Structure 1
Amino acid sequence: MKAIRRFTVRTVLPEPLRQLEELVLNLRWSWHHETLDLFRAVDPALWKAVHHDPVRLLGEVAPERLAQLAGDRRFLRRLQDTAEDLREYLTAPRWYQSRADGPACIAYFSPEYGITAALPQYSGGLGILAGDHLKTASDLGVPILGVGLLYRHGYFSQSLSPDGWQLERYPPIDPNGLPLTLLRERDGTPVRVAIGLPKGNELHAQVWVVRVGRVPQLLLDSDVEDNDQAARDVTDRLYGGGGDHRLLQEMLLGIGGVRAIRAYCRITGHPAPEVFHTNEGHAGFLGLERIRELVSEDGLSFDEALEATRAGTVFTTHTPVPAGIDRFPRDLIGRYFGGANEEEQVPVDRILALGSEDYPGGDRTVFNMAVMGMRLAQRVNGVSELHGEVSREMFGGLWGGFDTAEVPVGSITNGVHAGTWVAREVLEFTARELPSVMESGRGWEGVRAVSEAEIWRMRGLLRRRLVLDARRRLRESWRQRGASEAEVSWIDDALDPGVLTIGFARRVPSYKRLTLMMSDPDRLRAILLDPDRPVQIVIAGKAHPADEGGKRLIQDIVRFADSEDVRHRIVFLPDYDMALGQLMVQGCDVWMNNPLRPLEACGTSGMKAALNGGLNLSIRDGWWDEWYDGQNGWAIPSADGLASPDRRDELEAAALYELIEDHVSVTFYDRDSADLPRRWLEMVKHTIATLGPKVLATRMLRDYVEDLYTPAAESERAMVADKFAGARTLAAWKQRVRRAWPHVAVEHVESNGEESPQVGARLTVRVVVNLGGLDPDDVAVEIAYGRVDDADALVDPTHLELEEAESAENGRRRYTGEVPLGRSGAFGYSVRVVPSHPLLSGRAEMGLVALPPAPQGMTNGDLR
């Protein structure tokens, strides 16, 4: 008989072992090897059986073993030392505490978090990045407060059918069997937050608290008795359902998340957030809740509350693929935020305007969550330099009139958490050979002096570990697919610890091109089976349950890998998760990535491989476009711009094969008399020395603190000071500027010395501007100048603000300035008028610009 309900009965630990629970309930153990060693010592065989899950370990360990440990003085001493080490980690000042100007708290919202395989609340790169963000914040002492949802089934577990088709299973999750605690009021009752629904209904949620080192994380859970079954299922699974279900998840995350923060801070005395960071558009509704609070509690108007909210909000976009952005029908938004459910403080027409694609090429029928997120944030960033460029192009319509390069979307390139992704042996080796790297993050160049034999020994150890675990996983998969014991005997010799090992693991949308390596199956076979320079490939990845095309790609690769002649050289390992990801980035010699450029926002797996001594073989997309230097791996040439996708795949696959055959494998197998691949190891050292300080999440988070969080906190403080005087002033000013802007015009431009200018001369420019009733302090009149292309477009122009010279007739103003002619060749200039206010984050914030009528005001000449 099958149980109708599953729950976890927690162990009551003997008093001497109570500190074990303290250690289990703080997820620092997920990246702290000494704590993991302590858990392993509780029961080594059981630790392996529960897949290194300490909650399950304590739930299943025999009472007799606990009694034995309670009397083991050596174990108790070790337990005491580990607990004291955690307390010191949680309280001692760290990097952030040496700063004086940062925000007291940053609220970080994400729909998923990849912190540990024991807490399966992630599906891919977005969640893994969010998990690394929290862990690094803990290590650096950055006061982040994480917010997300608790999915009762998490993401799916993947297996394969006999013919290689992806099968999904959603194993139930009992929160009581996870390292969580329920947020309770001081009288012990569970905290409840609620959001309004149509027809006077409400969606209720309880709040679970996760401790990620120093960082508290709040996870909202709708599976409570106050809800009907449909409402209880809102948080049933990550990215499950569509339409209403997805919208309810995002309303709960954004609106409910802010309310959970308020409850948590009220109960615990935790500082209220000054900055709110929206990790992708899924949590964008948090801005609406903050506006509602300011209107209802502080008496601000909607526009005033909008300015106060924007000032302290950071929005990070993670996708360069329009299909990856959540869009809802406008009438669906109207149904949930309008009618009887409409709140007076947040009118539905204002909500719809925030998510409207009301720019050239936009779809007027949809509500765009990323667009709303950007309109509710004063600071927006992509996750690599190339992704920043792509995002400025994608969302440029929000700042119409400005060149793409001036669209206020910056970039902070992602990084990875070393404690999570770097093999323990590598960390210990680094601590021994390069202590300055571990202590201060400096001294990476010292790796060039490290013994190559020692690096090669370590790489062999990690490769062997991957091979052994891959065999175990492969055997389990074949048995699940119905194979008999006799049919899996070949797996004992699958893969080879001495063979060049290439890894490929990621989600399986079409643009990541899982099967590009199979474009020419015969050539791939020849590479795998080369008698002198064999290659083996380890592959993993999940397709979204609704993505039939992605599932077909997996089936294609599995069928090829099932072929008897190559199955010992190429394997697909199902159920890709953090644990498998760690083994692969640590054990593979080469990390392969071949997306359609420029559709990879960042792609951090290759960073993890690099920190473990692996080399990258990748299309120049995401972070690799930024940091590839010709010596730290290989760049697959991309055939950008080809109209035929098949032809592009054909060309790029041919380039991939050639690189593997003539460069990668040749370098790997070129050995000296000591059987060491000297050139390969030189590349490994160069990779670690040059990429090490760049790819770490500590660099990433410092960039967020210095470039985004601290400026956002300063803007927020300027808005709220003196009873929100800044927000009130800026909102009124923006309204006045928007009303007047249609009448602002550049009416006349002239300059002297254009006939035969020479390098070193200065060009005097005079401009007459009609300010349309605005004051001179409301605007900046600028000249943009520099090199021009064949179409007279300015290339990377320099901007110079002109000075007001005098008033002209009929309220017009004269401006003048001098342009230095510092280079020869084709040169040009133009002028513009833009809004100017000390509380704006930049010239383009309002998307307003007045330009001279063409062709007047444009001049170019050949400077000699």
Structure 2
Amino acid sequence: MKHIQPFQVFPIIPEPLSFLDTLSRNLWWSWQNDAKELYKRIDPKLWEKSEQNPIVFLTNTPKERLEELAVDGSFLAHQKRIRDNFVISVLQKLDKPDSPFQHNDNIAYFSMEFGIHECIPLFAGGLGVLAGDHLKAASDLMLPMTGVGLLYKHGYFRQFLSQDGMQQEEYPETDLYKIPVEKALDLSGKSLYVTVNGPNGNIRARVWKLSIGRIPLYLLDTNLPDNPPEIRDITANLYPANQNKRLAQEVLLGIGGMRALAGMGIFPSVVHLNEGHSTFAGIERIAQIISKHNVDYKTALEIVPRSTVFTTHTPVIAGHDVFPAEIVKPYLESYKEELETSEKEILSLGKPAWKDSEGQFSMFILGLRMAQYCNGVSELHGSVARKMWSHVWPGKPVDEIPISHITNGVHVPSWISYEISLLLDRYLGTGWNKHPWDPAIMNRIDGIYDEELWHVHEMNRTRLIRKCRELMIKQYEKRNTPKMIMNDVESVLDQDALTIVFARRFATYKRSHLLFMDPERLESILTSKTHPVQIIFAGKAHPKDQEGKDLIKFVIRFAQKPELRHHLIFLENYDINTARILVQGADVWLNTPRRPFEACGTSGMKAAINGGLNVGILDGWWCEGYSEERGWRIGKGEEYFDSEYQDNVESQALYNVLTDEVIPCFYDKKSNNYSQVWLSKMKESMKMAMQNFCSHVMVSNYTKHCYVSSAENNRNLLLNSAAEARAHSLQRERLRSLWKLIRIEPPKRKDQGPFRVGDTVNVSTEVFLGEIIPEEVDVQVYYGRIHSVDSVTDGKSEGMIVEENLGNGCYIYSCAITCSDTGRFGLTARVIPKGDDWIKNTQDFLTWA
């Protein structure tokens, strides 16, 4: 059938309850416990049956029930309380006199996926959930942010398991009428569409709007009746395996996303690229700046990177998209004229720096060349990323590679249990969740009575076990399981046993197999009569990852042993709802990645804010979060060359931690029905996670270290017809033409030593700058402990000054460095350009003695 005209019929909602419909259209409700309780109050069973989707829920609520509530004073008072909060939190005009942003500033946050709530299927895993938490925190903090993503027809897959434990995938179609999207409008008030050039004709997409509190999230959708099937299919699935389709998605996200913003009159002062998928946005932004501000390509190249933030989320090289340059060319064809530059010049922006990279186009490299502010997502990951990408800056010390870190955080109101939240309201005050990083507030957790905290935690664990039983019954019913086994399934898990959760993506480096390397020892741990333990597994493997699927299959088969059926289970279709229940009810959150491949990991943070204790490898965020007062570590952060040996060592370390420390601590109940040491660790874990690893802290760090300076750069560089940017461009061209002539002699020490702590070492060197003048460069002594004959560690630099002008572009530079520590040190000298970080980190502008 063709030319079908869609329309939607909404339920009649009595006028006194009209706010219920307004509330359902903004996902602000998803992180407001009071709002969710309001819907639940109408009909708790229907609320659960509707999968906590208020649009579906209101559609199915009987008219008589709504009319009854329309005259219920208690319900209307509850609704008014939420409406008043909604007005203040969402609708009230931004007017923060202390805001570092100006009224027209806007931060555009691009991501391939957004995990806001389980009823919005726009996410695959941690990257998307992190992006969703980012937008929620930005709304809470009243930042001028706009999200940009894609609207998927099928989204990521739903997982179900065959009888033998093999993962199967299904892709249910997203029903747009069950999610609160509305058509985005252009400046004339018409539905907004964008067009991007493709290899087989134009790619046309409709733009939708999703409201996340104060933050609008714009989503591009190619599933239009007028598009040919291959174009409609571009936004069919998240992360398609087909390389051409994946490239088309990333072009649409980056280029189409920027055009969608322009169509609404939004020209962001800051662009934040969440992973490399969206980095084509930088090329389109260059074109927009050229057109809007009448500058040339090289001048625009000075503006865009200085106001762009690029976050990388994985140290796994396969996680970074690289495409053949030949299939990228058609998408960039039109830019030759728009940018007035060559195809080769444009493609060079994404040309990898590694050997044998001819003919390749790297989205990560494009991101690096489009952003002054680059960061990993934990302290360790920042270090790993600097080593991983050091080849892009040959000759630069690894410690100076311009990739910093901002550790991820989780949105506390979205993940904390209702019961824990109510408990904290009583002890911390009702506004605590607006300032979870404040130690003056969080330290009040110490004053919570142990009995109360333990009682609430047991309620959460009980709910977890009840939900697990419900999910297991559904799983086994679909497989037509014999009644005898179904009877067992209905009573899996024990209300009082130590409950360990391992829930995450089933990739090999996550090492779910570590627990099973000594099956007999694991069985003895699980089936102890005095100190029983139970483990809940959940997670998806990528559809193309056979090794990951085999790991799931192994867990399923192990769990099918009759003696273990009550102690070890695997939950299908791990999603936000399942994750929420798991993190709220777990006693222990287990994480066993192969260091250093876990960039951050945020699920353990979510467990911690609910009082769960982490047991994990010192990788990702746990390197920063761990202390013996709040959890346990597996190993001491060692890294190995032999992965098989590493697995053997760390699996034994895991068993030892469980049997020698975790289990005895949990069951050390003495006269109480809880362990006081365990309760103490729970409180420390909660304080640690909320103060240091909440998304409000994360977004505040992005604001402080990236967004404010990016917005200032954007404003300043565009002032006076982009005068400053034009000056940067001219200076760069001058340095590029003259830099290769620079020579610097090995530095000479005026004092030969020996030296003692506190002594100074006077150093000088002769530098030939040619036509470059001293005001254009920094000459530095670089020194540190000798690591090998040609490198130093923990290097430091000390600026040198001109001591003598020898004429003809030759200068003597000198300085003195202080001996602050004992040991064997080495020094050399170098020349770098003067200026901001973007010019200082230019690949070719570095000359060593």
Separation in 1, partners of 2:703, 2:651:
41
Separation in 1, partners of 2:788, 2:843:
31
Please tell me whether residue 155 in structure 1 is matched to residue 156 in structure 2.
yes
Moved more, 34-43 or 665-674: 34-43
Q: Residue 584 and residue 178 in structure 1: after superposition, are their counterparts in 2 closer, same or farther (change >3 A)?
A: same
Conserved in 2, the CA contact under 8 Å of 1:288 and 1:346?
Answer: no
> Which residue does 2:402 correspond to in 1?
408
> Which residue does 2:421 correspond to in 1?
427
Please tell me whether residue 64 in structure 1 is matched to residue 61 in structure 2.
no
Alignment TM-score, normalising by the size of structure 1: 0.94
The correspondence of residues 157-172 of structure 1 with structure 2, limited to 5 A, is: 157-172=158-173
Separation in 2, partners of 1:650, 1:761:
49
> Which residue does 2:216 correspond to in 1?
216
Letter in 2 for 1:559: R
Please tell me whether residue 276 in structure 1 is matched to residue 275 in structure 2.
no
Q: 1:106-157 CA distances to partner (integer Å, 9 max, x unpaired)? A: 1000000010001011111100100000000111111110100011111111
Select 1:651's aligned residue among 649, 674, 679: 649
Q: Residue 7 and residue 238 in structure 1: after superposition, are their counterparts in 2 closer, same or farther (change >3 A)?
A: farther
Q: CA deviation at 1:844?
A: 2.6
Conserved in 2, the CA contact under 8 Å of 1:7 and 1:176?
Answer: no
Q: 1:70-127 CA distances to partner (integer Å, 9 max, x unpaired)? A: 4445434433442232111124588976333578211000000010001011111100
The correspondence of residues 545-584 of structure 1 with structure 2, limited to 5 A, is: 545-584=543-582
Conserved in 1, the CA contact under 8 Å of 2:609 and 2:687?
Answer: no
> Which residue does 1:861 correspond to in 2?
none
Separation in 1, partners of 2:340, 2:533:
63
Conserved in 2, the CA contact under 8 Å of 1:636 and 1:659?
Answer: yes
Alignment gaps of 5+ in structure 1: 853-864
Aligned length: 841
Q: 1:539-576 CA distances to partner (integer Å, 9 max, x unpaired)? A: 10001111111111111111111211101000000010
Q: CA deviation at 1:345?
A: 4.0
Q: 1:666-713 CA distances to partner (integer Å, 9 max, x unpaired)? A: 110111212221111121122223343001111111111001111111
Instruction: Give SS of 1:189's match.
Output: coil
Please tell me whether residue 634 in structure 1 is matched to residue 635 in structure 2.
no
Please tell me whether residue 802 in structure 1 is matched to residue 796 in structure 2.
no
The correspondence of residues 357-436 of structure 1 with structure 2, limited to 5 A, is: 357-359=352-354, 361=355, 363-435=357-429
Instruction: Give SS of 2:55's match.
Output: helix
The correspondence of residues 441-520 of structure 1 with structure 2, limited to 5 A, is: 441-443=438-440, 444-520=442-518
Q: Residue 78 and residue 207 in structure 1: after superposition, are their counterparts in 2 closer, same or farther (change >3 A)?
A: same
Separation in 1, partners of 2:195, 2:735:
39
Separation in 1, partners of 2:336, 2:23:
44
Separation in 1, partners of 2:237, 2:465:
32
Conserved in 2, the CA contact under 8 Å of 1:597 and 1:638?
Answer: no
Q: Residue 390 and residue 840 in structure 1: after superposition, are their counterparts in 2 closer, same or farther (change >3 A)?
A: closer
Q: CA deviation at 1:589?
A: 0.4
Q: Identity, % of aligned pairs?
A: 37
Conserved in 2, the CA contact under 8 Å of 1:111 and 1:283?
Answer: yes
Separation in 2, partners of 1:583, 1:94:
35
Separation in 2, partners of 1:626, 1:92:
37
Q: CA deviation at 1:535?
A: 0.6
Conserved in 2, the CA contact under 8 Å of 1:312 and 1:716?
Answer: yes
Moved more, 592-601 or 163-172: 163-172
> Which residue does 2:143 correspond to in 1?
142
Q: CA deviation at 1:611?
A: 0.7
Please tell me whether residue 232 in structure 1 is matched to residue 226 in structure 2.
no
Conserved in 1, the CA contact under 8 Å of 2:617 and 2:637?
Answer: no
The correspondence of residues 652-731 of structure 1 with structure 2, limited to 5 A, is: 652-731=650-729
Letter in 1 for 2:848: L
Instruction: Give SS of 1:482's match.
Output: coil
Separation in 2, partners of 1:176, 1:150:
13
> Which residue does 2:539 correspond to in 1?
541
Conserved in 2, the CA contact under 8 Å of 1:398 and 1:847?
Answer: no
Conserved in 2, the CA contact under 8 Å of 1:7 and 1:174?
Answer: no
Q: Residue 118 and residue 505 in structure 1: after superposition, are their counterparts in 2 closer, same or farther (change >3 A)?
A: same
Please tell me whether residue 618 in structure 1 is matched to residue 616 in structure 2.
yes
Separation in 1, partners of 2:763, 2:641:
45
Q: CA deviation at 1:521?
A: 1.5
Separation in 1, partners of 2:586, 2:90:
34
> Which residue does 2:343 correspond to in 1?
348
Moved more, 346-355 or 378-387: 346-355
Q: CA deviation at 1:222?
A: 0.8
Q: Residue 305 and residue 790 in structure 1: after superposition, are their counterparts in 2 closer, same or farther (change >3 A)?
A: closer
Letter in 2 for 1:668: F
Conserved in 2, the CA contact under 8 Å of 1:401 and 1:847?
Answer: no
Letter in 1 for 2:292: E
Separation in 2, partners of 1:438, 1:622:
25
Q: CA deviation at 1:461?
A: 0.9
Instruction: Give SS of 2:791's match.
Output: coil
Letter in 2 for 1:544: H
Conserved in 2, the CA contact under 8 Å of 1:96 and 1:142?
Answer: no
Instruction: Give SS of 2:792's match.
Output: coil
Separation in 2, partners of 1:80, 1:448:
34
Conserved in 2, the CA contact under 8 Å of 1:402 and 1:847?
Answer: no
Separation in 2, partners of 1:357, 1:455:
53
Please tell me whether residue 119 in structure 1 is matched to residue 120 in structure 2.
yes
Conserved in 1, the CA contact under 8 Å of 2:157 and 2:171?
Answer: yes
Separation in 2, partners of 1:386, 1:631:
21
> Which residue does 1:320 correspond to in 2?
315
Q: Residue 825 and residue 544 in structure 1: after superposition, are their counterparts in 2 closer, same or farther (change >3 A)?
A: closer
Q: Residue 692 and residue 93 in structure 1: after superposition, are their counterparts in 2 closer, same or farther (change >3 A)?
A: farther
Separation in 2, partners of 1:346, 1:43:
62
> Which residue does 1:849 correspond to in 2?
846
Q: CA deviation at 1:459?
A: 1.3
Q: Residue 75 and residue 761 in structure 1: after superposition, are their counterparts in 2 closer, same or farther (change >3 A)?
A: closer
Separation in 1, partners of 2:272, 2:671:
55
Instruction: Give SS of 2:757's match.
Output: coil
Conserved in 2, the CA contact under 8 Å of 1:357 and 1:363?
Answer: yes
Separation in 1, partners of 2:96, 2:128:
24
Separation in 2, partners of 1:694, 1:182:
38
Separation in 2, partners of 1:278, 1:134:
13
RMSD after superposition: 2.2
Letter in 2 for 1:57: F
Separation in 1, partners of 2:641, 2:742:
43
> Which residue does 1:194 correspond to in 2?
195
Q: CA deviation at 1:65?
A: 2.9
Instruction: Give SS of 2:840's match.
Output: coil
Q: Residue 715 and residue 182 in structure 1: after superposition, are their counterparts in 2 closer, same or farther (change >3 A)?
A: same
Separation in 1, partners of 2:12, 2:843:
59
Q: Residue 439 and residue 227 in structure 1: after superposition, are their counterparts in 2 closer, same or farther (change >3 A)?
A: closer
Q: CA deviation at 1:258?
A: 0.6
> Which residue does 1:860 correspond to in 2?
none
Letter in 1 for 2:234: V
Q: Residue 346 and residue 508 in structure 1: after superposition, are their counterparts in 2 closer, same or farther (change >3 A)?
A: farther
Separation in 1, partners of 2:47, 2:704:
41
Separation in 2, partners of 1:610, 1:593:
13
Conserved in 2, the CA contact under 8 Å of 1:537 and 1:569?
Answer: yes
Instruction: Give SS of 2:815's match.
Output: strand
Separation in 2, partners of 1:439, 1:114:
21
Q: CA deviation at 1:434?
A: 2.0
Instruction: Give SS of 2:271's match.
Output: strand
Q: Residue 168 and residue 439 in structure 1: after superposition, are their counterparts in 2 closer, same or farther (change >3 A)?
A: closer
Alignment TM-score, normalising by the size of structure 2: 0.95
